Structure 1
Amino acid sequence: MSDRSPFETDMLTLTRFVMEKGRQAKGTGELTQLLNSMLTAIKAISSAVRKAGLAHLYGIAGSVNVTGDEVKKLDVLSNSLVINMLQSSYSTCVLVSEENKDAIITTKEKRGKYIVCFDPLDGSSNIDCLASIGTIFAIYRKTSEDEPSEKDALQPGRNIVAAGYALYGSATLVALSTGQGVDLFMLDPALGEFVLVEKDVKIKQKGKIYSLNEGYAKYFDAATSKYVQRKKFPEDGSAPYGARYVGSMVADVHRTLVYGGIFLYPANQKSPKGKLQHHLILDDRPFENLMKAPALVRVQSCGLYHRAGWRPGDHRHPACAGCEAGVHSPTSPPHSGVPG
């Protein structure tokens, strides 16, 4: 018989993990406060998502956000939760949210040294049908002595101090990177704590799933169409890739991280430069930071914005993420906005 107890007496919770990281770094404790406040907001959002139907939180709030999406009632609630929790951590100076047109400047009496860019509820078009949705965030350190402004958020992706996402699905999970790999924590509802379930996640070298919105296939350029066709009808006689697409970037990228494969949001005739500029700092940079750690590869503009700061006028860019074999496929044409 196993001597293992049904109760873990020395579990590694995310709260403990963050405190240990802070102690190892001999920091001031501000980042620890910030991350713990973010976790509290995520727990509250998770609870709201589970109760949304009973609490009449389905449906739209009657406005659109800065990316042109209809704002859902749960978007508004989630946004307020994150903003209030982060500002009350006394560790932030600037907050950039997908739901707010302008950057939010923390009042002087609550001000700290960190900038947080976040999407409070990614995939909110899936709320009413109970599909998986998530929260995405990236944390930067203020680099100037000037008064805080939205310019403080326009830093290259390599400056990210910590990045993560929460996935609200069959369970609530947080993926977090502070620069040394990606660790996965699952919420134990009985404890009210996130518990480590997988450390230093590594993506598979090769997967068998591709993920993109083929509803836009009519508008794909020839290179994208050819790439997708070769995944479905391999010329070497191998098994075709399976298609999976949720429409929530957190869910689709997390599945790619767990199972391997490739996620694409390619440019097309309707959007020749890809996604909206706000997604660059709110969604894609956090994901790039997370996925570089487990050896997940991104291409083209992704590498550029990891090195360079975002600038007004950059507008849009395609997105692509996946395992090494999927991204650097020899069958995909170069310079196409798809893996090459």
Structure 2
Amino acid sequence: MPEVNVTEHLLLNQKKSPMARGQFTHLLNQLILSFKIISREVTKAGLVDVLGFTGEINVQGEEVKKLDEYSNNVLIHRMSRAGVICAMSSEENEGIIEIPAGFPTGDYVLIFDPLDGSSNIEANINIGTIFSVYRRKTPSEQPATLEDLLQQGVNQVAAGYCLYGSSTMMVMTTGSGVHGFTLDPSVGEFLLSHPDIKIPERGSIYSINEGYTRYWDAATREVVDYFKEIDNERKSPYSSRYIGSLVADFHRTLLYGGVFLYPADMRDPKKPKGKLRLMSEANPLSFVAEQAWGLATDGVHRILDIQPTALHQRVPLIIGSPLEVEKVREIYRKHGY
């Protein structure tokens, strides 16, 4: 059977849609090219001066890694010139990223985390780019506004991530299932390697940073205790797996099943919603999860139904197999959430 590359796959699926437009396919192709460029730098990071910190602090108050900065610049540069984007938002930038004067714009907005898990770069652990695409809401003849970016996740028209590790793999959805493509370096193409991904209904792994146990509320502690019990619904304790790179932990959960949790904690009263960003992390991964028959919640609400109020809004995230996520919801409801 002939191998299918990502462009062929996109064109085939777009032909099936009465809303198919060349702008959308061009946007995704420009994203794919950006991923190839970033992958090239990641694979030779130890050989050139792209490891370590830049000395700058990003909008999240975190030190910026050199590869973070490089990846952010690649995405902004390429997508600003694609002619299909009216505005962007990055985890590394405080406000809206506008398209430079003189470049054409389009009907879409792009939100991204340029290099998730970058604290693990020097340890050679999987890192990745997470992305989310929406159609703009304001008239196309007007400048883009926050209204175009602050949309509920349910409005996404595409989302996914590119994982840089032992191989480079892109997982994405355009609203009709989830597909994985692996970069073949011999031909420089992403080839369809994981068609129609479905997360298992029940898994055997829970993923959470248990070093923060003392900062959790009673509901979260009961959730983790449940997964360790012998007499839980699967009649066996779950295995604990935590990489500390969201995109890598989610990718494992998507393929093997189980649940990933990053709950709220009480360490910082200014950040009662935990660490993860709704727009650049939780929404795109939740869209992928639901398209793969999984679930995603903040413990009470469906992630994709949350109305964002700020570009860098944070949210608790429980995501994975439906039976595990529903069990977490049940325990949270029992505690009055």
In structure 2, do the counterparts of structure 1 residues 91 and 230 end up closer, same or farther at CA, with 3 Å as the change threshold? same
Distance change >3 Å, CA 95–CA 309, structure 1 → 2: same
1:221–1:168: structure 2 CA closer, same or farther, 3 Å change rule? same
Instruction: Flag the 1:269–1:308 CA change in 2: closer, same or farther, 3 A.
Output: closer
Aligned-partner Cα distance in 1 for 2:157–2:112: 14
**Cα distance in 2, alignment partners of residues 255 and 125 from structure 1:** 19
Preserved CA contact (<8 Å) 2:297 2:303: no
Q: Which amino acid aligns with 1:51?
A: K
Counterpart CA distance in 2 for 1:300 and 1:318 is: 5
**Equivalent position to 1:13, from 1, 5, 17:** 5
1:231 to 209, 227, 230: 227
Measure, in 1, the Cα distance between the counterparts of 2:290 and 2:266. 29
Tell me, yes or no, if structure 1 residue 104 matches structure 2 residue 103: no
The code of the aligned residue for 1:321 comes to I
Cα distance in 2 between the residues matched to 1:160 and 1:337? 32
Q: How many angstroms apart in 2 are the aligned matches of 1:53 and 1:140?
A: 35
Change (3 A) 1:292 1:303: farther
Counterpart of 1:260? Answer: 257
Q: Look up the match of 1:178.
A: 174
One-letter amino acid of the structure 1 residue matched with residue 126 of structure 2: S
User: How far, CA to CA, are the matches of 1:78 and 1:319 in structure 2?
Assistant: 25
Give 1:316 deviation, angstroms: 3.2
**Structure 2 CA distance, aligned partners of 1:307 and 1:330?**
18
Q: State the Cα deviation string for residues 209-261 of structure 1 (Å, max 9, x = none).
A: 11011111111111211221221233359321111111111100110011111
Between the aligned partners of 1:313 and 1:162, the Cα distance in structure 2 is: 18
Contact 1:227 1:331 in 2 (8 A): no
CA 1:170–1:219: 2 relative to 1, 3 Å: same
Partner of 1:5: none
Q: TM-score, normalized by length of structure 1?
A: 0.91
Output the amino acid matched with 2:255.
V
Residue equivalent to 1:4: none
Q: TM-score, structure 2 length as denominator? A: 0.91
Contiguous gaps of at least 5 residues in structure 1: 1-7
Quick check: 1:223–1:332 contact (8 Å CA) kept in 2? no
Alignment of 1:144 with 2:127, yes or no, is no
Distance 1:337 1:162, change over 3 A: farther
Cα distance change, pair 62–233 in 1 and its aligned pair in 2 (3 A): same
- The number of equivalent residue pairs is 330
Q: 1:76 to 1:42 in 2, by over 3 A?
A: same
Greater CA deviation, 258-267 or 60-69? 60-69
- More deviation, 304-313/263-272: 304-313
1:29-44 paired onto structure 2 within 5 Å: 29-44=22-37
- Residue 291 of structure 2 corresponds to residue 293 of structure 1: yes
Instruction: Indicate whether 1:203 and 2:199 are aligned.
Output: yes
**Structure 2: runs of 5 or more not aligned:** none
What is the percentage of aligned positions where both structures have the same residue?
Answer: 38
